Amino acid sequence: MKERPTFPARLDFAVGNPKGSRPAPGHAHSALSLGARPSGGVLSQGLGLDSSAVRMNMVRKLSHQGLTDPLVLSAMGSIERHRFVDSALVNQAYEDTSLPIGLGQTISKPGVVSRMLELLRNGAPGRLGRVLEIGTGCGYQAAVLSLLAHEVYSIERLRGLHDKARDNLRYLRLANLHLLFGDGMAGYAKGAPYAAIIAAAGGEAVPQAWVDQLAVGGRLVAPVSAGSASAGQQALLVIDKTPQGLRQTVLEAVHFVPLKSGVA
């Protein structure tokens, strides 16, 4: 695997700017390397949700739903989900429900997050190599991914959410997590090839850029339109990139925000 690019990094527009010229002022892409992780961790104050027992109860429920990957279960039990939702919703943080995070976006259910991460890992004995996440959102899944991979690049197209994720993740000081502001449909070629790619938004098809940036032997997990696209139906799609070509598997129905190009 090639050496990762030096940070801070910039992303070039792939839509409407094929030659990679610089974006207009006020639309610069940015990246975040969050430093060294503290050994003891930091607990939230005054929310009553910082007890590990609360997270372990969520993990037990995930296990009862069929989640079996021990590394995913451990990661889900380690990251405090209530830190990533608005204060008015913290009492619902450990329920298996999606919650609004602003700008028309949501934080996915713990059950969906863990299911997709288990699919992404596909029984790997240890941490994955380099992973690309499309759609940082509030930063929760990126934080969980940082415990499952040696290096994570996470792209968000909405400036407001990119900034929110930076704030949410700052306390964790995750040295292996890099946040990028840019068009996720173009992926991030400078970090390729990736051992795994995961998307938190669904389109009619997986962009070719993601497939190109996936390493041979790698796996991509993303929601895609299924059935009537106008009805908003989606299903989970798993793509394995083998030496013989692509192997695609369509799984259960899901509901994610639509995949869009450009930045805002």
Packing angle between helix 110-121 and helix 52-64, nearest 10 degrees?
70
Rounded to 5 degrees, what angle do the CA atoms 155, 16, 256 make? 40
- Residue 201 domain-assigned (yes or no): yes
Looking at the 3D structure of the chain, how many domains does it have? 1
- Residue 1 domain-assigned (yes or no): no
- Residue 182 domain-assigned (yes or no): yes
Please state, in angstroms and rounded to a whole number, the distance separating the CA atoms of residues 264 and 200.
Answer: 17
Q: Convert the pLDDT of each residue in 214-227 to its tens digit.
A: 999 999 999 999 86
Please tell me the predicted confidence (pLDDT) of residue 13.
Answer: 28
Please tell me the predicted confidence (pLDDT) of residue 210.
Answer: 98
Tokens representing residue 42 in the block = 């930091």
- Residue 18 domain-assigned (yes or no): no
Please tell me the predicted confidence (pLDDT) of residue 226.
Answer: 81
Q: Convert the pLDDT of each residue in 101-147 to its tens digit.
A: 999 999 999 999 999 999 999 999 999 999 999 999 999 999 999 99
Range of the domain at 143: 31-35+50-258
Please tell me the predicted confidence (pLDDT) of residue 50.
Answer: 73
Dmax (CA) for the chain in angstroms is: 55
Q: Convert the pLDDT of each residue in 232-249 to its tens digit.
A: 789 999 999 999 999 999
178: CATH: 3.40.50.150
What's phi and psi for 18, nearest 5 deg?
-65, -20
The DSSP element (H or E) to which 114 belongs, if any, is helix 110-121
- Residue 41 domain-assigned (yes or no): no
- What is the pTM assigned to this prediction? 0.82
User: Nearest to residue 248, comparing CAs of 256, 235, 238?
Assistant: 238
- Residue 69 domain-assigned (yes or no): yes
Burial of 148 (0-12, 13-18, 19+ CB in 10 A): buried
Please tell me the predicted confidence (pLDDT) of residue 49.
Answer: 74
Report, as residue numbers or ranges, the catalytic residues. Answer: 108
Q: Which residues of the chain have pLDDT under 50?
A: 2-47
Q: Let me know: does 204 contact 232? Beta carbons within 8 Å.
A: no
Q: How far is CA 99 from the centre of its chain?
A: 16
- Residue 14 domain-assigned (yes or no): no
- Residue 20 domain-assigned (yes or no): no
